[in-house]
A and B are shown apart, each in its own frame.
Chain A
Amino acid sequence: MTTVASFPVQQRGPSTREAPIVSGAWTVPAGLTYIFFRVDIPTSDYEDPLNSFELIVQVDNAGVWEQYSALTWQGGQWIGRDGTVNPPPTKKIPADAIVGKSTRIALVVPRRMRIGGLIQSEP
């Protein structure tokens, strides 16, 4: 997989005056099958049930950023199917329909928390 963009883990949220956090736009190249997102959250922020975020994939449609896909995450300890404690939230969506289109990520963080992540493409 190829990393398209990344966001360093740092305090984000209302008090940072950057909510929602919006990535730079990139054009989805031909030949991609999936786009993969991973969100990194330090343990104490991950396990705080008051923390949450919404990750929205947006596509440019004639100058209007329209929602392509989204997820909502809620804090609290999470043990994955393989036994991993607090695995990074991930998301995988097909890329076929947005090849050649300008795409970006909007991350809505209602409560101040440490969060980062990366976007990868899969041929």
Chain B
Amino acid sequence: MAAVQTTTVDINGGVTSGTSAAFGSSVQAGRAIMVGITTWNSGTSVTITGVTRDSDSFSQVATIDIGENTISIWKAENVGAGTTGVTVNASGTCDLTFAATEVSNVPTSSTADASNTATANNNDPTVSVTTVDSAPQMFGCFAHNQGDRTLTADGSYTMLAENEGGTNDMPLAWMYQLFASSGAKTVDGSIGLDGGTWGIVGASLKSEAEGGGAATPVRLRRMGLLGVQ
């Protein structure tokens, strides 16, 4: 297993912070948590001022603004055990959607591998991330500034969580793929035929077998909101 379980929340109408649903199962100590966040505020710049969960320490991996929308990925490594959800705090009122995923087979420190961001106006959110690790665990987070769109994870990516909003809430696509080699990897999704301006963030974590040593990529089975079933 790698992307073990995911929890989400979609909140709208002038909120300043939100806490995801608690994890369905206890997170295992020493693993990592990756968080994909999308926010929107009309005309005012809103930044994420912090991500918290018990005593875990989160840092922003990468972020991109597309007009009034912000897309970012945050991570915490060597996290504590328990089912506590993740809290995201914003600098002002906003619409806020995010997903948090427990990640196994990662080092307990220096987990970050590579990241990149991109934006364009079409229907194909894509970004290339030049990975270094031999078995990078890639996460992608994308959103758009349009009305409701169908969000899809392309290629061999698994959609861990999605909110197909846009008209009156903040869309989010949160996806994952475990690769078996280093080098340039494309994070690839789609926002349906109508397209629009999108932003995407890709970020990879290093792999390590739990208990130490190199990880062996595993074939992912059906993965829903609660991760591998």
Binding site for B on A (CB under 8 A): 39, 57, 59, 66-76, 78-82, 84, 87-94, 96-98
Contact = CB atoms under 8 A, between A and B. Distances in A.
16 contacts: A67-B19, A68-B22, A69-B22, A72-B15, A73-B13, A73-B15, A74-B14, A81-B168, A82-B168, A84-B168, A90-B10, A90-B169, A91-B18, A94-B7, A96-B226, A97-B23
Nearest to B167: A82
Interface in B1-40: 7-24, 40
Nearest to A87: B13
B42 interface: yes
A91 B21 contact: no
For B23, B169, B170, which residue has the most chain A Cβ atoms within 10 angstroms?
B169
Which 6 A-B residue pairings sit nearest by Cβ, starting from the closest? A89-B13, A97-B24, A78-B14, A70-B19, A92-B10, A93-B21
Contacts, number: 106
Given A78-B93, A84-B168, A97-B226, A90 B13 contact: yes
A55 to B, nearest CB: 9
Contact of B19 (A66, A71, A97): A71
B18 A72 contact: yes
B209 to A, nearest CB: 28
Contacts of B40: 81
Contacts of A70: 18-19, 87
Contact of B11 (A76, A78, A91, A94): A91
Interface residues of B, number: 34
B16 A72 contact: yes
B195 interface: no
A8 to B, nearest CB: 19
A90 B11 contact: yes
B22 to A, nearest CB: 5
A78 B13 CA distance: 7
B37 to A, nearest CB: 14
Contacts of A79: 42
Interface string B108-122: 000000000000000
Contact of A81 (B85, B166, B225): B166
A73 B12 contact: no
Contact of A74 (B10, B22, B93): B93
Contacts of A91: 9-12, 18
A74 B11 CA distance: 13
A80 B13 contact: yes
B23 A89 contact: no
A68 B23 CA distance: 9
A88 B19 CA distance: 18
Contacts of B22: 59, 66-69, 97
A80 B85 contact: no
Contacts of A82: 147, 167-168
Nearest to A88: B13
